[in-house]
Amino acid sequence: MEGNGPSGFGGNILGGRDGDEAWQLPAQSRVQLALKGDMEGSLFSKHHVWLVIQPERGTSVERRYSDFVYLLDALTKRYPFRLLPSLPPKRIQLQGRYLAADDLFLERRRKGLERALTALTSHPVIKHDGLLATFLNEQTDLTLYRKAHPFDLSEESHTRTLSPSDLSKLPQDLDSRLTLLRQRIAPLVEHWTRITTTLDRLAHRRLNQSKEYEAFKESLEAAVRVEREQGAEAYKQRMVEQTEREVLATARVAGEVGETEGASARRKLETVVEEVKRHREIYVNLRDLFARQTTLGIDNVDKLRKRVETNTSKLSILRTASPRPPTFDADADRLTSLIDADQRSIDQLLRRRDFVRWCVWEEVGWAFRCTSLLSLALKGYAADETAYAKRLAEQWGALAEAVGADAAVM
């Protein structure tokens, strides 16, 4: 999108692209997930149930992980050349053990499923899909609903007809631009994976630090309680009380600092960490889109053309044969039917080729527009860290003032 996309975010790839919408996307409306109580099901097939909540609609439905798998598989069949999210794993292996019910693992799965659904409900095409609407709103068990109401999973290219205007928007050097992007995807995924890991560690380090401050506070208070036990006046000088007051003031501020650290860490995990993970997934989803284009975008046009050429040659020889064979009419009709059928298939596959190229190009544009959401996240991150630093300065400043005031009295 010329004039809209910054050069660091695909501007050189999208240069010259027409677009009516502003580059910056508004904040996305998030679909929320909550774990519904304990695991359900029989002894050998227990599973978690997730509440899928749409806050703006005030609705919720119950879904299993397998329902999410079905949704993504079905949407991949319908929209193989669209930007689709991936799901978090059903379980992970750690030191020879499979984790599927660990609290931290479930929380990460919850957030991963939230990001996937939010990506689907924000996509300009997929958000209107009837299957997605059913997943989000149908109160019936999805497996039972599918059996009673089978979904049509025909590929989008079979029902979507492109106009000459649509095709005219494709750049002449489309292949070279996409090749350039393909070359960058792997290092982009690698760098943003490292960034998300680092930011997540920083947030958890701050969360752990809040617990250390709480432990620090409790130890300081416990020490003063021991010093103030009955009978301590027999060996403790009166002036020690001044130190005790300062220790308690430090304990109080340590508790306040711990609360500030914890609140900041939790907000960071819910905001910028999630947004950076979402940003990383844009490139992961582009990588997967290109992989699907490679495997699912192939066709047999060349083979069909060769067969049409062969059958056309046979028909020409048959028509010029003298005398004509007794089966001339039947043979001519058969060859003509084969040629017509193959030509229709060629025309259909060529339209699909055009659609695949057009669709992938549209999705590249959408992917880079989605990167604009990182700008909102970073602005919020800067504001939060500024407020966090200011609050810490106020708390430690209050302690310095309290200790200094007591010292002055002495």
Is the residue at 195 inside a domain? no
Q: Which residue has the tokens 């699909």?
A: 352
Q: Give CA–CA dist 233/230, Å, rounded.
A: 8
The share of the chain scoring above pLDDT 70, in percent, equals: 86
Residues 255 and 399 in one domain: yes
100 Cβ contact partners less than 8 Å away, ≥ 6 residues apart: 90, 91
Task: Answer yes or no: is 389 within a domain.
Answer: yes
- Whether residues 359 and 404 fall in one domain: no
Give the model's confidence band at 66: pLDDT under 50 very low, under 70 low, under 90 confident, else very high: very high
Rounded Cα distance, 237 and 307, in Å: 106
- Short-list 58, 12, 319, 6, CA closest to 173: 12
68 and 151 in a common domain: yes
**In a domain? residue 64:** yes
- What is the domain range of residue 232? 203-278+384-409
Domain for residue 181, yes or no? no
Tell me if 132 is assigned to some domain.
yes
Half-sphere exposure of 201 (CA within 13 A, CB side): 6
313 and 345 together in one domain: yes
List the CATH number of the domain containing 86: 3.30.1520.10
pLDDT digits (tens, 9 = 90+) for 385-402: 999 999 999 999 999 998
Question: Do both 259 and 337 map to the same domain?
Answer: no
CB 367 within 8 A of CB 83: yes
- How many domains does the structure of the chain reveal? 3
Last residue of a domain, one of 92, 123, 155: 155
- Within a domain: 98: yes
Q: How many angstroms separate the CA atoms of 316 and 401, rounded?
A: 103
Tokens of 199: 């930011």
pLDDT band at 215, cuts 50/70/90?
A: very high
The predicted pLDDT at position 103 comes to 81
Distance CA 6, CA 25 (A): 14
What's the whole-model pTM score?
0.86
Concatenate the DSSP letters of all residues of 169-235 into one string.
TS-TTHHHHHHHHHHHHHHHHHHHHHHHHHHHHHHHHHHHHHHHHHHHHHHHHHHHHHHTSTTGGGT
Q: Helix, strand, or coil here: 349?
A: helix
